[in-house]
Amino acid sequence: MDSHLLEARIRDLLAEKSRVLIALDGMSASGKTTLAGALSRRFPSCAVVHMDDFTIPFEDRFPGYFDAQLSNADIGRFDREVLTPLHLGRDACYRPYVCHPEPGFLAPVTVAAQSRLVIVEGAYCLHPQLFERYDLRVLCTVSPEVQRRRILERNGSAQLERFLRLWIPMENRHIQAHDLAARCDLMLSGD
């Protein structure tokens, strides 16, 4: 993934604004988390928020949930606890939700209002409710072959099947239904 253009855009935005909010949305295993980590090391006063921390809790899922949804993230909670406070110049504080090994909420995480750069990475961060709240919107893609290989290496064969059956179709519906390929400021390939 060539991120030089993205880094240049970030530098330009930081020269214009006191705080920059960036969204890295896209396909599983396209390099969103890796890219966010690399950018956070290159830019001082950077915070990274992972959309996986806002997964819908198991108890809130209903029969047919995966077929009916275009998101597996609690968009309302993310907006209330992260984007709205930051836009108001306040610290953001949220409790990450984890599915494994035991489902539940972890200790609170704080994103300081003084963070000059906030990168939100993960599928669904460019949900229509949130789209206009960012200064820069990036869609991360990957070929199906590379995606499968990375998920297999990262998560194992049992989880690969779950990704193929549930997560990838849901993410692809989100990307297509919200026309992210046409609407994002940048598109980066993780191949």
CATH number at residue 133: 3.40.50.300
Residue 106 class from Cβ within 10 Å (0-12 exposed, 13-18 middle, 19+ buried)? exposed
Domain span at residue 179?
A: 4-189
pLDDT of residue 153: 96
**Of 158, 119, 163, 143, nearest to 30 (Cα)?**
143
Residue 156 has pLDDT above 80, yes or no: yes
- Binned at pLDDT 50, 70 and 90, residue 65 comes out as low
pLDDT digits (tens, 9 = 90+) for 79-127: 999 999 999 999 999 999 998 888 999 999 999 999 999 999 999 999 9
Residue 69 has pLDDT above 80, yes or no: no
Say how many domains are in the chain: 1
